[in-house]
Structure 1
Amino acid sequence: MSTVEGTQRPRRRDAQERRDRLLAAARREFAVSGVDASLERIARDASVAIGTLYRHFPTRLDLLLAALEPRLREFVDGSERALKIEDPWEGFAAYLENLFRVQAGDRGFNDFLSRRFPGNAHTERIHDEMCRQIDDVLTRAQQAGRVRADLRRADIVTLIWSNGRMIDATRTGAPQSWRRQLALMLDAYRAERAHPLPEPPLSEEQAVRRDGTAQH
């Protein structure tokens, strides 16, 4: 082995170790503090300079997506299982339970669900796929007569928003309280419980907020 080869490999190994430490620190910090977590603190916890963080992850979004990858995989795996459930109502309920369970377990993922990141094709694909999944499980359950016919995707997105706020408020005192609220909402979504609603669902325009938060 030449001297150049011998020095390159340790450097690559050192760089990978620094990247791994950054990801571990980012996962901890985003999970606790959300997507606006301090990058300086992440770098400090990983025992690297902030410049090293930016060399590995040029933007906050780059770091966030890399850190959330295990949570996104967990969500996608659970969603695929729910979509394969034969009973339309059980599939609908299982999809929402999986979504809210992952949402409750990570504040960064919770924030990610409620925001869009214009100009980033990867995040747009993720959110668009979630839209399609919600439409699939909802339409199938409605066609089977199990879910009220006037429920719309925007109503589910609004539930995701409100669940996110509740998770933040009960994170330390009652971290499992989301399960009760989901069960209550599922009862409200049953076709046999349907009563006329006083307001229509949010339109696409109404669902987009000025701060960049948007429906899925």
Structure 2
Amino acid sequence: MTGSTPLRRDAARNRERVLAAARQLFAETGRAVTHNEVARAADVGVGTVYRRFPTREDLMLALFEDQLALVGRLADEALAAEDPGEGLRRFLAQVVEMQAADRGLQEFMLGPQARSRAGAATSRIAPVVGALLDRAKERGQVRPEVTALDVALIPVMVGEVTARSRDVVPGLWRRVLTIALDGLRPADGELPGAPLTPAQFEEVVSRGR
């Protein structure tokens, strides 16, 4: 037992080194990263990478789950904000900025595996964001007809702009996000059309993936 503890510690350190290297490489270059490149960047043997993460998708899933955990913490922080409207806008900006800063994560999020793995995290985060939205409405900071699914569409919409404009106008997402966030503020007149149902939302965000 005594000899196994250092081995477990070494294995844990190697795993973190692999994930840190993969996170940087995927963020910079997208999903077209090989195990050999990750091993070189992490300064470990390629066999170490394969043992922990047999496929590139396994690596992406591990990184994606880390990001989901971070989004959950950001949602909790936003809910605790004294100003709910500002908390909601800051939370959405943080989520979109995470997407914009990580090319590989954004590419992975457009795939079916991300949708299947996001279910449990979304179930935990959605009520928090819903409560934050309700508080902002009570303060008169958000249009009363805006729904939680309307809010959830904002990172999806801005994410599409980010993916298409990244190599043309890298910072365009900030402008588009500001326009979208301003659209949440109370205004004269009502929003056109009916709000999305959960089934419609799932179909919309799954199209083209």
Query: Normalized against structure 1, the TM-score is what?
Result: 0.71
Instruction: Identify if the C-alpha distance between structure 1 residues 13 and 195 changes in structure 2 by more than 3 Å, giving closer, same or farther.
Output: closer
Instruction: Identify if the C-alpha distance between structure 1 residues 86 and 53 changes in structure 2 by more than 3 Å, giving closer, same or farther.
Output: same
CA shift for structure 1 position 53: 2.4
Match 2:23 to one of 27, 31, 34: 27
Helix, strand or coil for the counterpart of 1:189? coil
Find the aligned partners of 1:13 and 1:152 in 2 and give their Cα distance: 46
Q: Equivalent residue for 1:154?
A: 149
In structure 2, stretches of 5+ residues that fail to align are none
Find the aligned partners of 1:37 and 1:151 in 2 and give their Cα distance: 38
Output one character per residue of 1:43-70: Cα deviation in whole Å (capped at 9) or x when no partner: 4654533x53232135555433443566
Q: Which entry has the higher C-alpha Rg, 1 or 2?
A: 1
Question: In angstroms, what is the RMSD of aligned CA positions?
Answer: 3.4
Is 1:67 aligned to 2:63, yes or no?
A: yes
Query: Percent identical across equivalent pairs?
Result: 33
Is 1:168 aligned to 2:163, yes or no?
A: yes
Find the aligned partners of 2:83 and 2:12 in 1 and give their Cα distance: 45
Matches within 5 A, 1:136-147: 136-147=131-142
Instruction: Identify if the C-alpha distance between structure 1 residues 126 and 182 changes in structure 2 by more than 3 Å, giving closer, same or farther.
Output: same
Is 1:206 aligned to 2:203, yes or no?
A: no
Q: Equivalent residue for 2:45?
A: 48
Match 1:89 to one of 81, 85, 88: 85
Amino acid at match of 2:158: N
CA shift for structure 1 position 15: 4.2
In structure 1, stretches of 5+ residues that fail to align are none
Instruction: Identify if the C-alpha distance between structure 1 residues 56 and 143 changes in structure 2 by more than 3 Å, giving closer, same or farther.
Output: same
Instruction: Identify if the C-alpha distance between structure 1 residues 112 and 125 changes in structure 2 by more than 3 Å, giving closer, same or farther.
Output: farther
Query: Normalized against structure 2, the TM-score is what?
Result: 0.73
Matches within 5 A, 1:101-112: 101-111=97-107
Amino acid at match of 1:132: P
Instruction: Identify if the C-alpha distance between structure 1 residues 127 and 113 changes in structure 2 by more than 3 Å, giving closer, same or farther.
Output: farther
Output one character per residue of 1:50-105: Cα deviation in whole Å (capped at 9) or x when no partner: x5323213555543344356645554444333212222322222222222222222
Contact kept, 8 Å, 1:82 with 1:94, in 2: the verdict is yes
Count of paired positions = 202
